[in-house]
Amino acid sequence: MHAEDRDRLILELMRERGFVSFQELDRSLEASGATLRRDLDRLESNGKIVRVRGGARLVDAPDSPAGAAGGNDGHLRGVPFHENVERNRAAKEAIGRAAAALCSAGETVIIDGGSTTLQMCPLLAPLELHVLTNSLHIVSALIGQPGTHISMPAGTLFREQNILLPPFDDDGMSRYRASKLFMGAASIGRHGLMQTDVLLVHAERRLLDRADEVIVLVDSSKFGAPAGHVVCTADELDVVITDDGITDRDAAMIEKAGIKLVVAPTF
């Protein structure tokens, strides 16, 4: 692959996500580590990217994983958890019930932090699951379940969401494998799954690599909602769980993409 082709692919990855890790570039491009470092140095010299710890970001990207060490003032973009948890509460509880019903006894799962994924936790006690989560709220919901085994990755605490996000690629997850990943999103639409902060994108991309099946929990208001950064495209999703407020148009979009759609009735 020529240098021009590698440059184009590197910039495309960054335009989708704002940030790309060196480890992800190493997986995506057929080039040695030394070659990739020269590519990044060249792109930075040309003023197209900025090298940051663990990877690189576009020059005009608002955030980067350097923020985990203070470059982003230790804050995440988006609605704070304590406000978001009460939005569309009935729909989120219905989605949580449907998500819990997809779990099997003794299964190893990942539950990404979020106000919707939190709603599945009280229903998991009888299943004695092995759960990896980056969320202190989810740990708190599970810690009273004696049979539930809980693990957390290494990372920096972001208090608005009470989640741990890894500032480095080595967060202790490299040998972890789960049958299912349950995750939320700021928005879902024709571009795929989106988040408001590039730090969340970076962390959630790492979770995607650790699970066999990706299950998205989003209430119907998240379809077409504005958000800034693509976490993944639709072809990386297996199941979407939402509430019965979803429109026919949005349901058709999900099914056309080949994703299983689960509509949870709101009582």
Q: Which domains does the chain have, with CATH numbers?
A: 3-61 (1.10.10.10), 81-264 (3.40.50.1360)
Q: For residue range 149-165, list pLDDT tens digits in order.
A: 999 988 788 776 778 87
Taking Cα atoms as reference points, which of 142, 151, 149, 112 lies closest to residue 124?
A: 142
For residue 123, pLDDT over 50 is answered with yes
Q: For residue range 231-257, list pLDDT tens digits in order.
A: 888 889 999 999 999 999 999 999 999
Beta bridge partners of 20: 56
Q: What is the four-CA torsion angle of 209, 210, 212, 217, rounded to 10 degrees?
A: -90
Least confident of 28-42, 92-106, 194-208: 194-208
Q: What is the DSSP letter of 133?
A: E
Spatial separation of the C-alpha atoms in residues 65 and 69, rounded to whole Å: 8
CB 18 within 8 A of CB 51: no
Q: What is the DSSP letter of 85?
A: T
For residue 80, pLDDT over 70 is answered with no
The more confident residue out of 253 and 195 is: 253
Average pLDDT, the chain: 83
Give Cβ neighbours of residue 191 (< 8 Å, ≥ 6 apart). Answer: 230, 233
What phi, psi does 59 have (nearest 5°)?
Answer: -60, -40
Sign (positive/negative) of CA torsion 185, 130, 123, 235?
positive
Q: What is the DSSP letter of 78?
A: S
Q: Output the CA angle 49-52-55, nearest 5 degrees.
A: 80
Q: For residue range 29-72, list pLDDT tens digits in order.
A: 778 888 888 889 889 888 888 887 667 877 765 444 434 333 34
Taking Cα atoms as reference points, which of 223, 245, 244 lies closest to residue 234?
A: 223
Give Cβ neighbours of residue 90 (< 8 Å, ≥ 6 apart). Answer: 266, 267
- 178-183, strands of its sheet edge to edge: 149-151, 130-133, 108-111, 178-183, 211-217, 239-243, 260-264
- DSSP-derived 3-state class of residue 30: coil
Residue 39 identity: D
Burial 160-196 (b: 16+ CB within 10 A, else e): bbbbbbbbebebebeebebebbbbbbbbbbeebbbbb
Tokens standing for residue 200: 């969340």
CB 218 within 8 A of CB 195: no
